[in-house]
Structure 1
Amino acid sequence: MKCLVKEINEEIPCRNKQIQLLTNLLGKDGCQLPSSIFVYGHSGTGKTLVTLAVLKRLGIITSHVSCIEFYTQRVMYQAILNQLSGTVLSHSNDYTSYASCDNIGDFVKLLREIGHNNGNARMAIVLECSERLRDCDANILPLFCRLQELTQDTNIVVIFISALPFDKFRSSTGYMDPIIVYFPQYSKDDVVEILLQHKPMKYSEEFYRNYVSLVLSVFYQATKDVPELKHQVELNFPAYCEPIEKGLAEECDIRHLWRNIEPQLRKAMNLVYLREVSSGQYERMQQLTEGHAPDSTHANVTLSAKMELPFYSKFLLIAGYLASYNPARTDRRFFMKHHGKQRKTQAMIKAKERSSNQLVGPKPFPLDRLLAIFYSIIDDSVTPTANIFSQVSTLVSLRLMTQVGGDDQLDAPKYKCVVPLDFIRTIARMVDFDIIRYMYDYS
């Protein structure tokens, strides 16, 4: 078992505790599996990767399905049965499923049949994005939690993978609580170690480590999602190495390399989570738009043109952007009529030049500050109703804003606006609002 854990750790670093726990829970070949396991944590923390790797190494027959894909329970049941039975839909079998399954009773009966046909081998059902089960019938969650009990002699485990804690899954129907496994977010050092696995052979580890740390210093405040950070590191590495390839700098000349890559990082920062094209197309677009004004970026204009938001949602998004990139101490100066005059000292000017908020990334802000800015910049007299709050939730679901914390009822939620400047300027022009006038970086 120790050799197995070591092998998985070499393949998936920085998840030793979770790998050890899942391996101990699932046990060796022939051991009885637990009824259900609930794996949760933020996106990009390796939940699915670790779970499937452990199941594969232990030789457990696995059905891996995403709850987002299934619009009816019948489709989900049949997908699970097909994977566990080894049925592959193809032209040779006329795209016929293992069996027709319309209800829970048939599903349990067919699972027992598959288990008997497999010689009572150990089986697992992995339900990704399992928070979607809350929108299904009330008996679905208890069914999967007690599936081993219902199938009697079948050695099967159900593994829920979710971004939400299990407290959000409470149901009125009785069920057994699953074993809970938590995947915390990676620390900055963990992210560096993970990204170092993809180091090019041509360069030294110290050089690549310096580059990764430099990229994280820009993007880590905006996103902690490892796949997104990995994409940005790989995408911008050729531009970082360009002076070395041309013989204009050495590997140790970090300052020269930083000056060369800073403009590209600034452009890439505007497209975190908002890319509409592949990396190759993005690089070609960067070459075509080089030397043009920032608001001529094709992807941002296309995205804002496609997305039609309600009138108040546009002002809420503008208010969120201002709250993310303006320091809180400047709200009085920008949004109050009689704020008094403020003298700019030399120290303030130099401090502003040292840290550009556009490059550092958005900062979290409380909901109260967002609404205060919203009511200040909108001309109409708007009553704070449930409609306004629901539009904030809509912006979060569209990933134009992200919620930071707030799972605890005693902790007020905080948000960050993740859209780029080009996008927000297009939105501001739609409502005839001069956003540059209210931005700290341009004042």
Structure 2
Amino acid sequence: MDKEKTSQTPRRMTRSLASSPTSTSNNVIAAKVNSLEPSTINDLLVGGDPISLDDIISNFPGRRNQILEIVRLLGPLNSPMLPLFVYGGPCTGKTSVILQLFRHLNRPLVYSSCRTCYNQGILFESILNQLFLHRKNAANGYANAKRCDRPSDFVNFLREALTNVINNLKEKSEKLVSNKMRQEKIGNMIYLVFDNFHLVREWDKSSTILPLLFNLYDMLKMHEVGLIFISSTSPDTFYSNMGYVEPIPVYFPDYTEGDIRQILLRNQVNQKLYSSFLDVVLKSFYGITKQVGDLSAALKPLYEKYCEPLSDKGKGVAPDQQMRRRLLAHINPHIGPSLNEIFKVSSLSSTEVEARKEEKRKGNPRRLAKSEELGSLDFHMSTSAKYLLISAFLASRNPATLDASLFDSKGGSDNRKRKRKPSEKAMERKETLEEELLMKGPGTFPLERLLAIFQCLVSVAEDEEEPNNDGFGVEGGSAGLMSDVLLQLSSLCNANFIFKGRSCPIEGSTRYRSTISEDLALKVARSLKFPLSKYLYS
């Protein structure tokens, strides 16, 4: 009992906690002590002071729905759970949210990153070392708790280690109840977290390790064990021919510009000055990357340049309108070179910039229309590829059950019909469906559905073009558009506009998913003068 009291500092620390100045000196001392002391169950807890759920929500802007959904799926203390599949783009807060939630819930977990554990042997040994409470040091010759290279050995050792951990958790809970201690309970559940799970597909034995990890839930049959997979790719990229309990997906979309603004403003000494700086530069940089890490690294030297005209680097300065104009004039010449230097984006030369300004002064309507069109879409794409890209975007965003009503013979719903006022239950069902679609992210679709939507959009475009073109349809009619549709689909997949997944074990056909954002879809639709909002479910 005394040993547990003296070793209350957990060894797992989040990145934010590890970087705090107050804990640096303590960590050095604790590292020396912990290397000699035996590990306890407390080492499986996330380190740091207790944190409330409201604090987590405020620390992660734009992640309220995902946080509440994960808390709901984890359930109350000692609640069995189905496997979770948390996915989204890089730097969207997936890992940080999971660790902070376990810090809030005070529940033990075994965290393994498939980036540092770059093959199955290292992954197996990392998990078993944590579960057996084994710490490698000079006393044991830096050996692992168990050596296993075969998946069958890993499953046997894993079941043994989990049984020991669960029994220890139950004994600790019983002691707390019998002694009537006020210490917060940690329950009987143990969670296995696999971070950077998408990297497993690049391993040599990925065809063996992927079904093994997905089938752990069925093989172990231990209700006290929870599985959480964190990936940068969607679940449909992991289809296999072996049946297993499909994990529940939780989607983390990219941060919006407002969310990134809140994140960057945190920990700033002068938030008013930094806010005026973001008003100038954030929109340009956000159009190139939405990753918080890249933006923070790119804006740091630029902000130092922004504060050069101010004394003491702008500490305590409240910028007025005149100061903002002066700072804008100072920073404006450095924005373009900074974009080119960090993100390798080609910019217009000074002569082209002057030519554009001269055209705007003259007000030539044809040239202005052409420049606006080029500004709306930054790359060339054929008409058939544009319609195919829009079709894929609609297939990913719209439920398949609504295709018949959205893509009817008249090309979408008839706006001239008098619409009945929806009931409250219908509105609630619609809001629930929208939340479910947001949590799942862009859906997958078969090739047949994509071609059906594509054919409908092309026929609508021909009907609208016919009165203006005297009988000549878009690119020579549907035959011209349909002739190279498979070739265009292959090109869009190679350009990562559309993701091609594996064959679905149930349907037996390849499934696709659109990867473009709504902003890019609107740009493509605007270049075709296509009413995208008319066909988008909202």
Q: TM-score, normalising length from structure 1? A: 0.61
Per the alignment, in what secondary structure is the counterpart of residue 39 of structure 1? strand
Per the alignment, in what secondary structure is the counterpart of residue 407 of structure 1? strand
Give the counterpart of 2:230 among 153, 161, 167: 161
Residue matched to 1:5: 53
Which amino acid letter does the alignment assign opposite residue 75 of structure 2? G
Are the counterparts in 1 of residues 80 and 224 from structure 2 also a CA contact under 8 Å? yes
Could you tell me how far 1:263 is from its partner in structure 2?
3.4
Matched, 1:55 2:95: no
Rounded to whole Å, the distance in 2 between the matches of 1:125 and 1:146 is 13
Residue matched to 1:102: 149
- Relative distance call for 1:96 and 1:224 in structure 2 (3 A) is same
Q: TM-score, normalising length from structure 2? A: 0.51
Rounded to whole Å, the distance in 2 between the matches of 1:209 and 1:7 is 22
Per the alignment, in what secondary structure is the counterpart of residue 175 of structure 1? coil
Rounded to whole Å, the distance in 2 between the matches of 1:124 and 1:87 is 17
Rounded to whole Å, the distance in 2 between the matches of 1:157 and 1:110 is 17
Question: Deviation per CA, 1:97-156, whole angstroms, max 9, x where unpaired?
Answer: 111122222222222222222235422222222123334343422322231332233622
- Relative distance call for 1:250 and 1:60 in structure 2 (3 A) is closer
Give the counterpart of 2:263 among 189, 194, 205: 194
Are the counterparts in 2 of residues 219 and 269 from structure 1 also a CA contact under 8 Å? yes
- Structure 2 counterparts to residues 43-442 of structure 1, below 5 A: 43-120=90-167, 121-135=188-202, 136-153=205-222, 155-200=224-269, 203=270, 205-245=271-311, 251-252=319-320, 253-272=323-342, 346-348=358-360, 364-365=378-379, 405-407=497-499, 409=512
Are the counterparts in 2 of residues 129 and 162 from structure 1 also a CA contact under 8 Å? yes
Which amino acid letter does the alignment assign opposite residue 251 of structure 1? P
- Relative distance call for 1:5 and 1:351 in structure 2 (3 A) is farther
Are the counterparts in 1 of residues 66 and 252 from structure 2 also a CA contact under 8 Å? yes
- Relative distance call for 1:413 and 1:225 in structure 2 (3 A) is closer
Give the counterpart of 1:37 among 57, 64, 84: 84
Are the counterparts in 2 of residues 144 and 158 from structure 1 also a CA contact under 8 Å? no
- Relative distance call for 1:86 and 1:271 in structure 2 (3 A) is farther
Question: Deviation per CA, 1:156-198, whole angstroms, max 9, x where unpaired?
Answer: 2222222211111111121111000000111111111111112
Are the counterparts in 1 of residues 191 and 227 from structure 2 also a CA contact under 8 Å? yes
Are the counterparts in 1 of residues 196 and 230 from structure 2 also a CA contact under 8 Å? yes
Paired residue total: 313
Are the counterparts in 2 of residues 127 and 160 from structure 1 also a CA contact under 8 Å? yes
Rounded to whole Å, the distance in 2 between the matches of 1:345 and 1:230 is 32
Rounded to whole Å, the distance in 1 between the matches of 2:70 and 2:378 is 34
Per the alignment, in what secondary structure is the counterpart of residue 198 of structure 1? coil
Which amino acid letter does the alignment assign opposite residue 27 of structure 1? G
Aligned-pair Cα RMSD in Å: 3.9
Could you tell me how far 1:83 is from its partner in structure 2?
2.7
Structure with higher helix content: 2
Are the counterparts in 1 of residues 111 and 194 from structure 2 also a CA contact under 8 Å? yes
Residue matched to 2:471: none
Residue matched to 2:30: none
Per the alignment, in what secondary structure is the counterpart of residue 263 of structure 1? helix
Per the alignment, in what secondary structure is the counterpart of residue 148 of structure 2? coil
Rounded to whole Å, the distance in 2 between the matches of 1:237 and 1:257 is 11
Rounded to whole Å, the distance in 2 between the matches of 1:196 and 1:110 is 47
Rounded to whole Å, the distance in 1 between the matches of 2:252 and 2:110 is 21
Could you tell me how far 1:224 is from its partner in structure 2?
0.9
Uncovered stretches (5+) of structure 2, i.e. residues with no partner: 1-50, 168-187, 384-489, 501-511, 518-538
Which amino acid letter does the alignment assign opposite residue 85 of structure 1? F
Are the counterparts in 2 of residues 325 and 362 from structure 1 also a CA contact under 8 Å? no
Runs of 4+ in structure 1 deviating by more than 4 angstroms, as ranges, are 246-250, 348-352, 361-364, 366-369, 390-393, 408-414
Rounded to whole Å, the distance in 1 between the matches of 2:381 and 2:253 is 25
Uncovered stretches (5+) of structure 1, i.e. residues with no partner: 275-320, 331-342, 370-389, 397-402, 415-443
Identity of aligned residues (%): 29
- Relative distance call for 1:89 and 1:41 in structure 2 (3 A) is same
Which amino acid letter does the alignment assign opposite residue 53 of structure 2? V
Which amino acid letter does the alignment assign opposite residue 23 of structure 1? V
Per the alignment, in what secondary structure is the counterpart of residue 144 of structure 2? coil
Per the alignment, in what secondary structure is the counterpart of residue 288 of structure 2? coil
Could you tell me how far 1:236 is from its partner in structure 2?
2.3
- Relative distance call for 1:124 and 1:364 in structure 2 (3 A) is farther
Per the alignment, in what secondary structure is the counterpart of residue 342 of structure 2? coil
Larger Rg, first or second structure (1 or 2) = 2
Rounded to whole Å, the distance in 2 between the matches of 1:215 and 1:68 is 33
Which amino acid letter does the alignment assign opposite residue 124 of structure 1? Y
Per the alignment, in what secondary structure is the counterpart of residue 166 of structure 2? coil
Could you tell me how far 1:250 is from its partner in structure 2?
7.0
Are the counterparts in 2 of residues 5 and 23 from structure 1 also a CA contact under 8 Å? no
Rounded to whole Å, the distance in 1 between the matches of 2:151 and 2:145 is 16
Rounded to whole Å, the distance in 1 between the matches of 2:286 and 2:230 is 25
Rounded to whole Å, the distance in 2 between the matches of 1:6 and 1:250 is 30
Could you tell me how far 1:366 is from its partner in structure 2?
5.2
Are the counterparts in 2 of residues 13 and 194 from structure 1 also a CA contact under 8 Å? yes
